[in-house]
């Protein structure tokens, strides 16, 4: 096993840079650079010297002998000054000692391989590192700290209990209806798992929107006030990254934090039925695409006629004396009249569209769907051959084991860890 290293505390000029080293050579490298191996799990202030004795930096060294460490291997941390020159010199020194720069997520991958962490926790950790809003942070921590794993463990226990009953039925000598009668005793436990699993699955889409961020499109005819509304939203809410290019014919967007949710707001070019202007036509095409993928649509100058559950209908420019028709919210994006009511309505929509869930990744959802289908097959006909029932229940247990990483499928690991940062 190679010994890897990475700067874990981000790049650029910083006061302190935290470097991590993991693998069998970690202890030897620490002893060489810090003069001797410091006491385990204690911060030691040392002069850091390269193997020829040249002073490299002055900093803190931490030594964590395996296997009871974050990666499961021998692990060390160097807290050095965060300058480019120190980074360059330290990297050269470690490489010269035969260490290799870590790939993204490689420390976590090692933790997984040594059983220090499960797959659901690793996915939660990835989400936590990506979290931009409060709700994303909370949802991610649920995965990272094991809430999702505990729920899966509960299902697994229920299925094992049912399986014991089914196996007893299989072993029973084939007399009349006795095996089927015994097998039927597994039904309540299976039903309980099935219901709970489907409940979690039902929450997944909203949890996924919370994790990935939801899309809000503002649509309406030219001059309805779309840009004015977007600007007011950006001005009032916390803009995470605001990206507003100059042209009004394109889709412009802003990333906002509304009620702890990451919301990408798209202001779309005016939608008209016909135009000869090719640039305007291209803009309209993008507006349509934005509307297609939007989770919530604010429609300005709405007449309330169109049916779409995603629509929040708004009559803008009420300061000019317009009255809002039934089913629409009156607003003046210019003066702010009606803004509080509008924001309450919008926040309500956002909260209802993106809420926390335990299983939000494609991989997890696909496994849960297969599990739910297999349980349906069992529960649709519990009087069938107990051997077949047991087979299906075993397949669901295997799916859950893939979910937690108890059974490791190599190709999912690459997908999960490639999105991690270096040094984690
Ligand atoms: P868009 O084409 O839909 O993006 O519309 P704009 O936001 O560019 O607004 C078009 C014009 O309407 C501008 O002159 C705005 O100042 C004006 N406008 C936007 N909202 C309001 C409003 O609530 N009241 C009034 N009186 N004018 C508004």
Give residue-wise pLDDT tens across range 134-185. Answer: 999 999 999 999 999 999 999 999 999 999 999 888 887 666 666 777 888 8
What is the predicted pLDDT for the residue at 240?
A: 61
Does the structure show a pLDDT above 60 at 201?
A: yes
CB 189 within 8 A of CB 337: no
Pairing of strands 100-101, 14-22: unpaired
Q: Give the residue, 397 or 243, on which the prediction is more confident.
A: 397
How big, in percent rounded to 5, are the helix, strand and coil portions of the chain?
A: 50, 20, 35
Does the structure show a pLDDT above 50 at 277?
A: yes
Q: Give the residue, 198 or 240, on which the prediction is more confident.
A: 198
Q: What is the 3-state secondary structure (H, E, C) of 133-149?
A: CHHHHHHHHHHHCCHHH
Q: Whole-angstrom Cα distance, residue 110 to residue 113? A: 5
What is the predicted pLDDT for the residue at 245?
A: 46
Cα–ligand 1 centroid distance for 333 (angstroms) = 7
Pocket of ligand 1 (CB under 6 A): 220, 222-228, 270, 316-317, 319-320, 332-334
Q: What secondary structure letter does DSSP report for 185?
A: G
Q: To test ligand 1's pocket by mutation, which of 218, 220, 221, 223 has the most ligand atoms within 8 angstroms of CB?
A: 223
Q: Cα-Cα-Cα-Cα dihedral of 236, 239, 245, 248, to 10°?
A: -30
Q: Give the residue, 179 or 235, on which the prediction is more confident.
A: 235
What is the predicted pLDDT for the residue at 274?
A: 57
What average pLDDT does this structure show over 9-32?
94
> In percent, how much of the chain has pLDDT > 90?
67
Give residue-wise pLDDT tens across range 301-354. Answer: 766 567 789 999 999 999 998 788 888 999 999 999 999 999 999 999 999 999
285 pLDDT band (50/70/90 cuts)? confident
Give residue-wise pLDDT tens across range 373-404. Answer: 999 999 999 888 889 999 999 999 999 999 99
Decide if the complex's ipTM is over 0.95.
yes
- Give the atom of ligand 1 at the shortest distance from the alpha carbon of 221: 3
Retrieve residue 369's tokens: 């769907």
CB 122 within 8 A of CB 156: no
What is the predicted pLDDT for the residue at 182?
A: 80
What is the predicted pLDDT for the residue at 272?
A: 53
**Atom 11 in ligand 1: residue holding the nearest Cα:** 223
Retrieve residue 365's tokens: 């959802």
**Atom 25 in ligand 1: residue holding the nearest Cα:** 317
Cα–ligand 1 centroid distance for 223 (angstroms) = 5
What is the predicted pLDDT for the residue at 247?
A: 44
Structural domains of the chain ordered from first start: 4-113 (3.30.1360.120), 126-208+360-404 (1.20.120.430), 214-353 (3.40.50.300)
Q: Give the residue, 81 or 234, on which the prediction is more confident.
A: 81
CB 175 within 8 A of CB 184: no
Does the structure show a pLDDT above 90 at 237?
A: no
What average pLDDT does this structure show over 194-212?
97
- Give the atom of ligand 1 at the shortest distance from the alpha carbon of 220: 3
Cα–ligand 1 centroid distance for 372 (angstroms) = 50
Q: Whole-angstrom Cα distance, residue 395 to residue 231? A: 53
What is the predicted pLDDT for the residue at 246?
A: 43
- Give the atom of ligand 1 at the shortest distance from the alpha carbon of 331: 23
What is the predicted pLDDT for the residue at 329?
A: 93
């Amino acid at each position: 096993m190679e010994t890897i290293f990475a700067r874990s505390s981000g790049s650029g000029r910083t006061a302190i840079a935290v470097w991590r080293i993991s693998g069998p050579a970690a202890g030897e490298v620490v002893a060489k650079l810090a003069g001797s191996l410091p006491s385990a799990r204690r911060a030691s202030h040392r002069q850091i010297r390269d193997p020829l004795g040249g002073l490299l930096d002055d900093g803190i060294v931490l030594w964590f002998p395996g296997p009871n460490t974050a990666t499961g291997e021998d692990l060390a941390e160097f807290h050095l000054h965060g300058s480019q020159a120190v980074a360059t010199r330290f990297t050269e020194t470690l490489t010269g000692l035969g260490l290799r720069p870590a790939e993204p997520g490689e420390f976590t991958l090692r933790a997984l391989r040594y059983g220090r962490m499960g797959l659901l926790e690793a996915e939660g950790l990835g989400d936590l590192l990506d979290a931009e809003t409060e709700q994303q942070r909370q949802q991610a921590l649920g995965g990272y700290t094991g809430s999702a794993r505990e729920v899966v463990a509960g299902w697994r226990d229920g299925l094992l209990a049912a399986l014991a009953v089914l196996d007893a039925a299989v072993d029973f000598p084939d007399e009349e209806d006795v095996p089927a009668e015994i097998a039927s005793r597994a039904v309540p436990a299976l039903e309980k798992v099935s219901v709970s699993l489907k409940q979690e699955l039902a929450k997944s889409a909203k949890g996924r929107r919370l994790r990935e961020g939801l899309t809000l499109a503002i649509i309406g005819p030219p001059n309805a006030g779309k840009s004015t509304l977007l600007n007011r939203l950006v001005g009032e809410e916390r803009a995470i990254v605001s990206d507003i290019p100059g042209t009004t014919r394109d889709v412009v967007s802003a990333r906002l934090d509304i009620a702890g949710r990451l919301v990408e707001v798209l202001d779309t070019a005016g939608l008209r039925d016909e135009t000869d202007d090719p640039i305007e036509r291209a803009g309209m095409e993008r507006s349509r695409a934005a509307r297609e993928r939007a989770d919530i649509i604010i429609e300005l100058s709405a007449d309330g006629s169109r049916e779409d559950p995603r629509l929040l209908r708004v009559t803008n420019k009420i300061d000019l004396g317009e009255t809002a028709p039934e089913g629409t919210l009156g607003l003046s994006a210019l003066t702010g009249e009606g803004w509080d009511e509008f924001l309450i309505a919008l926040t309500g929509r956002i909260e209802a569209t993106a809420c926390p869930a335990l299983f939000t990744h494609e991989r997890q959802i696909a496994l849960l769907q297969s599990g739910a289908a297999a349980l349906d097959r069992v529960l649709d006909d519990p009087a069938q051959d107990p051997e077949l029932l047991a087979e299906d229940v075993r397949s669901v247990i295997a799916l859950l084991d893939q979910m937690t990483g108890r059974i490791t499928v190599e190709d999912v690991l690459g997908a999960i860890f490639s999105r991690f940062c270096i040094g984690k």
